[in-house]
Amino acid sequence: MIPPKPTPRPDRVSLWRYVRLFRQDILSAQPARLYRAWMAEFRTPFFRSYMCNDPALVRRVLNERPDDFPKSNRIREGLNPLLGNSVFVTNGEVWKRQRRIIDPAFEGGRLRDTYPAMWAAGQAAVARMPQGTVEVEEEMSHAAADVIFRTLFSIPIEHEIASAVFAEFRTYQRTQPILNLAAFLPLPRWVPRFHRRATKRSAAVIRNLITRLTEGRAAEIAAGTAPDDLATKIMVTVDPQTGQRFETSEMVDQVAIFFLAGHETSASALAWALYLLALYPDIQARVAAEAADLGDTPEFAAMSKLKYTRDVFREVLRLYPPVPMMVRENRCPEEMRGRQVAAGAQIVLSPWHLHRHERIWERPDDFDPDRWQTDAGRLCARDAYMPFSSGPRVCTGAGFAMVEGVLLLAMFARAFRFEAIKGDEPVPVAHLTVRAKDGIRLKITRR
């Protein structure tokens, strides 16, 4: 049984149809040949883009010369109302300064400090999970948002402001395409960016709510009463080069991306993970058996026992990477696989296609967690696996996400049985992250 993936478009379509398809879903807008191509060129009247699936090119862009391939502002255009000047969209010295302040909060040793909050969020999610036919994307969004608020601000999702942010973000998702029209046109900075009115309104509401949380935490820090959570760690960290901390407005930008990246991506991965467990009952039984040994109040060290569950979650991230494509822009003229690529081109790196590349992976569309313990799987993990990006711009929260995803998946599998519903197969689409077009419904019963 092969897990679902989108039906690719025909090889040749008009630019106007491609733009329309891209705005609706970037995965089905791509042709099938990209699952075999090492590199592909796309032309528009205003710029050229190159998708690079060659592992050597991916290493050049992300690992070897990242300063020569900054993030493209074309992606930033669509997300600017919510993310402002966050670390997700900045480049150069601004980005480096932001990472110097943020990264210490997510270092390996700090994950142990966030673990109790993750466990508490998992317990709450298990207690809240309905039975019968359940739309699990919504449930996983709730659980992932709870994790973010507990670890960032030491408040549960039921907190008044946390609940309001979560509700408004669901509205924002429905109005925000991954690219808006400004991404395709060469517009000067003073020209309006064509954001939908509803998108701008939702983004403003979310940012106002986050500002209230951030200002409140700044007051607690000043009074010496702030809890020792991620928000406090980041807000008191001093840039070792400049001696400066984040101002409130800068922190609002960062919290916005923590919520977007940390909640939306985890929710996507967990929902697909539950669907795949439902699709493969034997794999589900192995995860449940491994999770049965967790105990009622496990220590952080218990995570080392969830080896198979970790491989399951890694395989979920391979087939359904939450962020399916990344876009960079080359500062200098480049030669790529014998082609001359002019400065200013868009360099597209696609975890979605790289993770399913027919010339790299064995049985690329199969769900096979055991592949991660083979020599071939380890080689592919090194050369063609990047659910959190790679190099200096690897996701700050990658370690956090792996602990969260593996822990919650184990807790759900220990508590419930998940069954696929015949004739109700989810169709993957990509907007902010890879989600199911019409949701993911499963039959859930308590073990």
CA distance 437 to 274: 16
Burial class of residue 228 in the structure, from the number of CB atoms within 10 Å of its CB (0-12 exposed, 13-18 middle, 19+ buried)? exposed
Scanning 154-196, the segments in alpha helix (DSSP H) are 160-175
The list of the chain residues with pLDDT below 70 reads 8-24, 74-78, 173-196
Q: Dig out the tokens for 395 from the structure.
A: 């996701």
- DSSP symbol at 304: G
Residue closest to 361 by CA, chosen among 346, 340, 382 = 382
pLDDT score of 23: 61
132, containing H or E segment: strand 132-135
Helix axes 197-223, 160-175, angle to 10 degrees: 150
Residue 360's alpha-carbon distances to 324, 350, 383, 401, in angstroms, are 18, 14, 9, 26
362 C-beta neighbours (distance < 10 Å), count: 12
What is the torsion angle, in degrees rounded to the nearest 10, for the CA atoms of residue 420, residue 398, residue 370 and residue 361? 100
- Collapsing DSSP to helix, strand or coil, 85 comes out as coil
CA distance 122 to 174: 26
Contact call for residues 288 and 277 (beta carbons, < 8 A): no
pLDDT score of 188: 46
Residue 163's alpha-carbon distances to 14, 155, 220, in angstroms, are 43, 10, 21
Strands 39-43 and 346-349, bridge-based pairing: unpaired
pLDDT score of 263: 86
Burial class of residue 419 in the structure, from the number of CB atoms within 10 Å of its CB (0-12 exposed, 13-18 middle, 19+ buried)? middle
Bridge partners of 336, per DSSP, are 339
What is the torsion angle, in degrees rounded to the nearest 10, for the CA atoms of residue 167, residue 168, residue 170 and residue 173? -170
- Collapsing DSSP to helix, strand or coil, 243 comes out as coil
pLDDT score of 182: 46
Options 3.30.479.10, 1.25.40.10, 3.90.1150.10, 1.10.630.10; CATH of 15-446: 1.10.630.10
Q: Dig out the tokens for 111 from the structure.
A: 């994950």
